Chains A and B, each alone.
Chain A
Amino acid sequence: MEINSLSFLTNELYLRQSELFGNDYKELENNSTYSFNELSISNLEEWQNSILQKYNSLNELQIENLQNLLFSLFKILETINPDKLKINDDLLTDENDLLLWRESYKGISKLFFNEYGNIVYVFNGNDGKKVRGVFNNDVDYEKLLYKFLSL
């Protein structure tokens, strides 16, 4: 598992779930780096920036699709099990596709952001199950995200 700013976010969201001490954890974050409520944005921004810096060959369509997906992720952050946020990033250098992927005991879920503005969702199950879908930028990002996070 790659350590990225999303990993820190996962931990922070987990700690904040405490009913009695969630606010203490929020305030500690506030005292250390960010202002209240901005932690999640900052972590997602940091992750996005690290992706853009690492893979500086991404074109505008890819960046826009990534931003849309992260915006949807931000919206649902506090409503999902933080464990589902263990997401890795990579670049397929031959095709210049940005790849976000996560692994579960069921298999590997992947989202490819290609240069033509498409997002390709692929799931390869350990039991041989395969799922594939190609979407353009009018896709319902939230639904796509849930699909990506559920398997």
Chain B
Amino acid sequence: MNPAETSPGAGPTPAKLYGLLAEFETSEQMVEAARRAKEKGYTYLDCYSPYPVGEAADALGFPKSEMGTVMFLGGLTGAVSGFLMQYWANAYGYSLNIGSRPYFSWPSFVPVTFEMMVLTAALTGLFGLIAICGLPCYYHPLFHSERFARATRDRFFLCIEASDPRFDPVATREFLQSLQPLSVEEVPE
């Protein structure tokens, strides 16, 4: 890494680079930048925006989220185990004769099975989302950038990471500059 290229905020020692962060005024510019970067052959890059921009994820090559499968499996687990739990509790664990109904009177087990399905699917959704996104993540190199605080407010960012095989501090910066960003910043590791 070229020591002259290190960011001023990184302290006296030349820090390792996390990536180059380009800031855009509108979501369209960010999406266009992501598309162009993909065309250039970059693979380690991500967009950051204050609200979801579906085209950005499309441009990054993430057309479909895996969360549907995760939540389906979570819901299925809850429904099956909820049903079996009731079956066991009322047919074996503590079988009571209620109006001479069979111990395994499955229609009565439907509401709780449904509730268990919803409960586990929702919890899998929450914890699955957090886990798959790598959250909680209280330290992230991008938080070094002061400008990046606006990613949750009114600015749109594209970050090409230094781990990208095609990353070159000079050429990548030139490429990002050619996309008319508001700024291009080096983010230390």
A-B complex is real: no
